[in-house]
Structure 1
């Protein structure tokens, strides 16, 4: 499965972001929360944001693959997802205010998820629409 490739790569991204949080906790002796450390806030948010968006996006991607969408489409969506999440994490890690990486990363993530949602819905609805058309042609 192509989705498995992107799930693996995205998991490595999430683990990298988690490792950055853990390293900061250890080096600055922060047990819970952010300890008032601005750098810790950025690291926690970069990790949490990836965890918030990736599961749904990967679920949509896997559903599209199982529904028979072309491999090129799955790779296009998967690669865009991974790159957009890396850009977002990089942008947020560098600045807690607006940054190009953060903006482009979330913009592409959201647009991608809307597109995948529409593909998923269309994949579900199209067989029913096709059977209605065939039924009307048969009756006519």
Structure 2
């Protein structure tokens, strides 16, 4: 299954983000909370934001692939999700965050979720599929 490729890639990114939080906690000497340490707050939010969107998007990708979405669309959506999440995580983790990159990363993520959801609705209600 194509979704397996993107799930595996995103799982590795998740572990990397988790390790980034551990490193930031050690640096800030905070095992609980943030102590208002900006680096730790950013690491936690990069990790948190990732886990807030990725599972849902992967479920939608899986359902679309399972229902017969063309493989090139599955790869397109999977790659866009990975790119969006990598851009977002790397940008939000920096103290000199660039808003344009953050916006692009969220547009990619939201677009993937919306288009995959619409695709499922079209297939379920009208029998139309990409």
The TM-score normalised by the length of structure 2 is: 0.92
1:78 Cα offset (Å): 0.2
Q: Which has the larger radius of gyration?
A: 1
Q: Deviations over 1:105-134 (max 9, x none)?
A: 01111122111110011121234x8xxxxx
Aligned to 1:29: 29
Report if the CA contact (8 A) 1:92-1:99 is conserved: no
Corresponding position of 1:111: 111
> 2:48 maps to which residue?
48
Question: How far apart, CA to CA, are the structure 2 residues paired with 1:27 and 1:97?
Answer: 20
Change (3 A) 1:97 1:90: closer
* Structure 1: gaps of 5 or more residues: 130-140
Runs of 4+ in 1 over 6 A off after TM superposition: none
More helix by share: 1
Asked whether 1:101 is paired with 2:101, we answer yes
For residues 9-28 of structure 1, the aligned pairs below 5 Å read 9-28=9-28
How many residue pairs get matched?
128
Structure 1 residues 55, 96: CA separation in 2 closer, same or farther (over 3 Å shift)?
farther
- What is the deviation of 1:98? 5.3
User: Which residue pairs with 1:66 in the alignment?
Assistant: 66
CA RMSD of aligned residues (A): 1.5
Unaligned runs of at least 5 residues, structure 2: none
1:25, CA displacement in angstroms? 1.1
- Cα displacement string for residues 39-72 of structure 1 (whole angstroms, at most 9, x for unaligned residues): 1000100000000000110000000000011100
